[in-house]
């Protein structure tokens, strides 16, 4: 290996390692989110099936055993949950259970950082590559999600890997590379449905820049290869294949349970077409927005970089466009288009590299080293300091982050954007409940987040004598050893954890009952940022 290539790879590995360490030292401060219990349980179950497959393949492959182990979270494909399960098995004796389940996805985020650096650095230089990684991980929402045992950052990683591989292999002529692309696209499809839009992005780019028949045929080969790969890596489809595959397609298209969205002061199901575009403006720091727009403008013609800027732009646009044009009834703020963030960060790195070169060129005219250094430092501070300062102040509740473009969380609140979501703030209430609640006190929270509180009980973070108000039994998710909740009216609870997620009030038919019930309780604690309440804990009077 040439020394220059060794340095290039070494720098990429170092960047990935630093990102992983940063995620690792902050992970325990990141509260559990309401999708994680299902994924945690699924990972554990899939690992148990693999144990049985190793010991008794014939038994493990029966329809009964497949249903036993793979029915948990069977509405989503398995690859990331299997990956997370392997890392959980490897680290559960040296880390707490939730951290062990999250380590796999933190590693994916670190690998994404390395690949992003390499891609942008190879085409636009060292400064642009480093700036792209800095842009991605100073996007507070992305940084938050990079910790989780959830599917959104893995989906972003898988989409990025397929797109990156396509770019690197676009001039290779052997058909084997088409099969390779099909293999990794199949794995991406088996991570999350987001990957289904990759051929549209690549096909659009091909239509604009290449129109090469061989490259088009390679994309067709990619598609043909991906489908059997998708089925092969999902044991849930080994039995009743046609029925279950049809059920999955139906779930991701027309039969998914409805998740609406509070947006611009109203509850929608679904929100207007412009929701994703407005939210991009709202949750990506203003300096980074300026940088990625600069990166897009820099490469409008696409001649100098052979169309890479356009590929990044199309890849960043597609997840948002898919939401805008679809009839989906599944919305959860920014996480639904998380796959766009790495590509926008790449464009931001390009924009920063261009600005850096201009500033360097202008400052040289002064012929003073001090002026040049000051100019560079100023540029870095202007582009990155505002969001870093906010991240320090808001830490670790980045699902309440809003950019300077909408006036922060206070401005977003006035605009009618959702204050927070996914119940990550519940962790704030745990020490208070542990200290003040009486034995067998009943705790009410968002009707769909009870499994998060029960998971906290299984891990000893919430007293197990406390009873969670739960509309359904979570034994099917967390296992029979999990504490049992109780299905009682809200008003019969002793404590009320209220996260200020306005979609909850919009979606629940008894929203007026929630407001009336909470109004009559004793305020015990409230966490707010810039005078905007984020979590409130009440005690029954």
What pLDDT tens digit does each residue of the chain (541 aa) get? Answer: 567 788 899 999 999 999 999 999 999 999 999 999 999 999 999 999 999 999 999 999 999 999 999 999 999 999 999 999 999 999 999 999 999 999 999 999 999 999 999 999 999 999 999 999 999 999 999 999 999 999 999 999 999 999 999 999 998 888 899 999 999 999 999 999 999 999 999 999 999 998 888 999 999 999 999 999 999 999 999 999 999 999 998 888 777 777 788 999 998 888 899 999 999 999 999 999 999 999 999 887 666 788 999 999 999 999 999 989 876 666 788 998 999 999 999 999 999 999 999 888 887 777 666 777 888 899 999 999 999 999 999 999 999 999 999 999 999 999 999 999 999 999 999 999 999 999 999 999 987 788 999 999 999 999 999 999 987 777 666 766 678 889 899 999 999 999 999 887 765 555 678 888 998 899 999 999 999 999 999 999 9
533 vs 453: CA distance, rounded Å: 21
Which pLDDT value is given to residue 193?
A: 92
| Prediction pTM value | 0.95
Which pLDDT value is given to residue 131?
A: 98
- Nearest residue to 162 (alpha-carbon basis) of 132, 207, 192: 192
Which pLDDT value is given to residue 361?
A: 83
Which pLDDT value is given to residue 360?
A: 83
Angle between the 213-232 and 198-209 helix axes, to the nearest 10 degrees?
170
Compute the radius of gyration of the chain from its Cα atoms.
24
Which pLDDT value is given to residue 1?
A: 59
Tokens 């898988």 sit on residue = 158
What residues contact residue 356 under an 8 Å CB cut-off, 6+ apart? 127, 128, 131, 376, 379
What residues contact residue 34 under an 8 Å CB cut-off, 6+ apart? 422, 423, 446, 448, 449, 451, 452
Per the DSSP assignment, residues forming a β-bridge with 261 are 268
Burial (0-12, 13-18, 19+ Cβ within 10 Å), 6: exposed
- Nearest residue to 153 (alpha-carbon basis) of 104, 202, 118, 201: 104
Q: Say if CB 43 and CB 88 are below 8 A apart.
A: yes
């Amino acid at each position: 290996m040439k020394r220059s290539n060794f340095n290039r790879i070494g720098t990429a590995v170092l960047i990935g390692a630093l990102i992983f360490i940063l995620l690792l030292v902050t992970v325990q401060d990141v509260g559990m989110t309401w999708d994680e219990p299902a994924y945690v349980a699924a990972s554990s179950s899939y690992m148990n099936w693999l144990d049985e497959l190793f010991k008794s393949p014939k038994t493990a492959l029966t329809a009964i055993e497949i249903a036993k182990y793979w029915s948990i979270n069977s509405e989503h494909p398995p690859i990331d949950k299997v990956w997370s399960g392997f890392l959980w098995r490897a680290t559960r004796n040296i880390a707490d259970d939730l951290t062990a389940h999250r380590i796999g996805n933190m590693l994916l985020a670190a690998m994404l950082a390395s690949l992003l650096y390499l891609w942008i650095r190879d085409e636009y230089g060292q400064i642009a590559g480093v700036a792209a990684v800095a842009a991605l991980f100073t996007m507070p929402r992305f940084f938050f999600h990079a910790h989780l045992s959830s599917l959104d950052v893995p989906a972003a990683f898988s989409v990025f890997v397929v797109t990156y591989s396509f770019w690197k292999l676009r001039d290779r002529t052997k058909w084997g590379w088409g099969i390779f692309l099909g293999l990794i696209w199949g794995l991406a499809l088996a991570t999350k449905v987001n990957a289904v839009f990759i051929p549209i992005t690549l096909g659009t780019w091909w239509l604009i820049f290449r129109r090469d028949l061989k490259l088009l045929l390679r994309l067709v080969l990619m598609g043909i290869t991906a489908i059997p790969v998708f089925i092969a890596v999902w044991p849930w489809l080994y039995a009743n294949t046609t029925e279950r595959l049809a059920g999955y397609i139906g779930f991701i298209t027309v039969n998914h349970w409805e998740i609406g969205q509070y947006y611009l002061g109203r509850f929608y199901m679904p929100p207007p077409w412009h929701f994703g575009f407005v939210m991009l403006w709202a949750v990506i720091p203003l300096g980074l927005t300026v940088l990625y727009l600069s990166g897009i403008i820099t490469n409008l013609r696409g001649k100098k970089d052979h169309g890479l800027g356009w590929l990044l732009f199309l890849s960043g646009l597609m997840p948002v466009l898919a939401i805008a044009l679809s009839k989906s009834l599944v919305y959860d703020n920014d996480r639904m288009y998380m796959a766009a963030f790495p590509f926008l960060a790449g464009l931001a790195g390009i924009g920063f590299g261009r600005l850096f070169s201009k500033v360097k060129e202008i400052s040289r005219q002064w012929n003073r080293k001090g002026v040049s250094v000051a100019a560079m430092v100023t540029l870095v501070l202007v582009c990155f300091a505002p969001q870093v300062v906010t991240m320090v102040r808001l830490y670790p509740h980045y699902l309440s982050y809003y950019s300077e473009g909408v006036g922060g969380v206070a401005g977003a609140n006035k605009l009618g954007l959702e204050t927070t979501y996914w119940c990550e703030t519940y962790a704030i209430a745990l020490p208070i409940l542990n200290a003040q609640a009486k034995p067998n006190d009943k705790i009410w929270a968002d009707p769909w987040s009870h499994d998060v509180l029960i998971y906290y009980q299984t891990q000893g973070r919430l007293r197990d004598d406390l009873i969670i108000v739960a509309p359904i039994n979570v034994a099917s998710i967390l296992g029979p050893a999990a504490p049992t909740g109780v299905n009682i009216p809200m008003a019969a609870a002793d404590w009320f954890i209220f996260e200020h997620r306005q979609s909850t009030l919009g979606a629940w038919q008894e929203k007026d009952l929630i407001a009336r019930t909470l109004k009559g309780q004793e305020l015990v604690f409230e966490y707010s940022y810039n005078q905007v309440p984020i979590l409130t804990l009440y005690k029954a009077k």
